[in-house]
Amino acid sequence: MAASCVLLHTGQKMPLIGLGTWKSDPGQVKAAIMYALSVGYRHIDCAAIYGNEAEIGEALKENVGPGKVVLREELFVTSKLWNTKHHPKDVEPALRKTLADLQLEYLDLYLMHWPYAFERGDNPFPKNADGTIRYDSTHYKETWKALEALVAKGLVRALGLSNFSSRQIDDVLSVASVRPAVLQVECHPYLAQKELIAHCQARGLEVTAYSPLGSSDRAWRDPDEPVLLEEPVVLALAEKWQVQRKVICIPKSITPSRILQNVQVFDFTFSPDEMKQLDALNKNWQYIVPMLTVDGKRVREMQGTLCTPLMIHTETTTSWFPSSSSTTRSCHPQKGVNKAIRAATKKKKKKKICIHSFIDGSLHSLHSRKPTF
């Protein structure tokens, strides 16, 4: 698959199609990895928070190495640092846990999963007695400097970011001695991310698209949202569109036939007119996006207000994730929360507000009483 790679600024070749492992259930992901390697996949995307790295490691141990399906140097493995491990003292132990689970000596790429830190510890979603998430004051720039030490030790070949905005990327670049090589964000024909991709490419970052078909199976799905797979042109061609734009794509599947289909996107090329037709599907629609409902009215666009995975509602449950828009501000989580609450409750000071968090498919109640300012 040498011809189907992008060249990172580190000199590494990163395959344009990889196997995503988010939402791959325990007991199924090992078989999916083994089949994917057998049909030519050379890029596996993992994360500690997915809870399946140990099972992925079993597949890698059985299939990677001399005399096996693939040599280690032919395989590109990505993993991600979770929010509770942002403190500089926790970064290397977190990586070593991932390496032990994956049964690898090094990672090809290690991403900071989100740009904010939760309270340190082994609970992935630490909460107060009232249900609010417990944050940590560690800034992602401090975390980045700790990540750089992993490269110096040979534990990681390249570093990157996930779910960061343009401004946050530039924040990291302002302190980086090891420059990020990749940004991973939600990206699909309904969310083309042209501005963000251009921002990254101008700074030497490649872009990886997660949820390349819109993540319609997530738990918090809005019943009224557009379903990407209902577009006939997208069903068969979305991944090829990403690849032809030189955007790395990591579709998740545990079904052998779909795994095989996903890696066969290099067998044809779109004409310029066909690319324009796909580009025209863009709706700037984020499936993993800040959502605000006040008095039954849903508001999708709150970029510039929050950088935390929060949503506010007064009547119905909706989701709120940090936007990857270039206008998203770099801010402390609680300050962003308070600002959003004040905006949502202006002229309605007595209305009860509920805040919830959706992280990687899990719902966590953060606040269920009147806010105090």
Mean pLDDT, residues 141-161 taken together:
99
- Extents of the domains making up the chain: 2-279, 292-367
CA nearest 309: which of 176, 117, 121, 21?
Answer: 117
Give dist(CA 266, CA 239) in Å, integer: 10
User: Where residue 166 falls among pLDDT bands split at 50, 70, 90?
Assistant: very high
User: Where residue 224 falls among pLDDT bands split at 50, 70, 90?
Assistant: low
What torsion do the CA atoms of 286, 287, 289, 292 make, to the nearest 10 degrees?
110
Catalytic residue IDs: 50
Do 324 and 306 form a contact (C-beta atoms < 8 A)?
no
| Fold (topology level) of 2-279 | TIM Barrel (3.20.20)
**Residues β-bridged to residue 347:** none
Cβ-based burial of 73 (10 A; exposed 0-12, middle 13-18, buried ≥19) = exposed
Mean pLDDT, residues 249-259 taken together:
73
User: Where residue 152 falls among pLDDT bands split at 50, 70, 90?
Assistant: very high
pLDDT at position 356? 31
Longest CA–CA separation in the chain, Å: 70
The helix (H) or strand (E) run that includes residue 312 is strand 311-313
Residue position matching structure tokens 């199609």 = 17
> What strands lie across the sheet with 292-294, from one edge to the other?
297-299, 292-294, 311-313, 354-359, 362-367
Give dist(CA 200, CA 128) in Å, integer: 37
Cβ-based burial of 229 (10 A; exposed 0-12, middle 13-18, buried ≥19) = exposed
Q: In this model, does residue 211 exceed pLDDT 90? A: no
The helix (H) or strand (E) run that includes residue 298 is strand 297-299
Q: Which residues of 149-158 are buried (b: 16+ CB within 10 A; e: fewer)?
A: ebbeeebbbb
pLDDT, tens digit, 9 for 90 and up, residues 266-325:
555 667 887 787 777 776 655 555 343 444 555 443 333 233 333 222 222 223 333 333
Do 79 and 98 form a contact (C-beta atoms < 8 A)?
yes
Q: In this model, does residue 206 exceed pLDDT 70? A: yes
pLDDT, tens digit, 9 for 90 and up, residues 336-365:
444 444 454 444 443 333 333 323 222 222
More confident: 198 or 240: 198
Q: In this model, does residue 180 exceed pLDDT 80? A: yes
Q: In this model, does residue 230 exceed pLDDT 90? A: no
Percent above pLDDT 70 for the chain: 64
Which two three-digit tokens encode residue 169? 């990327």
Q: Which residues contact 13 (CB under 8 A, 6 or more apart)?
A: 2, 5, 6, 7, 76
Give dist(CA 315, CA 330) in Å, integer: 29
Give dist(CA 84, CA 63) in Å, integer: 31
pLDDT at position 207? 94
Give dist(CA 54, CA 59) in Å, integer: 9
- Backbone torsions φ then ψ of 241, nearest 5 degrees: -60, -45
pTM: 0.72
CA nearest 54: which of 112, 16, 96, 102?
Answer: 102
The helix (H) or strand (E) run that includes residue 56 is helix 53-63
pLDDT at position 101? 98
User: Where residue 12 falls among pLDDT bands split at 50, 70, 90?
Assistant: very high
Mean pLDDT of the chain: 74
pLDDT at position 268? 58
As a 3-state breakdown, the chain gives helix, strand, coil percent values, each rounded to 5, of 35, 20, 45
pLDDT at position 24? 64
More confident: 126 or 179: 179
Mean pLDDT, residues 163-188 taken together:
95
pLDDT at position 252? 61
Q: How many CA atoms lie within 13 A of 301 on its CB side?
A: 6
Cβ-based burial of 371 (10 A; exposed 0-12, middle 13-18, buried ≥19) = middle
- Range name among 168-172, 218-222, 277-281 with the lowest pLDDT average: 218-222
The helix (H) or strand (E) run that includes residue 20 is strand 19-20
pLDDT, tens digit, 9 for 90 and up, residues 25-72:
778 899 999 999 999 999 999 999 999 999 999 999 999 999 999 999
Q: Of 172-176, 268-272, 368-372, which one has max mean pLDDT?
A: 172-176
Mean pLDDT, residues 195-221 taken together:
76
Do 115 and 167 form a contact (C-beta atoms < 8 A)?
no
**Residues β-bridged to residue 40:** none
pLDDT at position 92? 99
pLDDT at position 113? 95
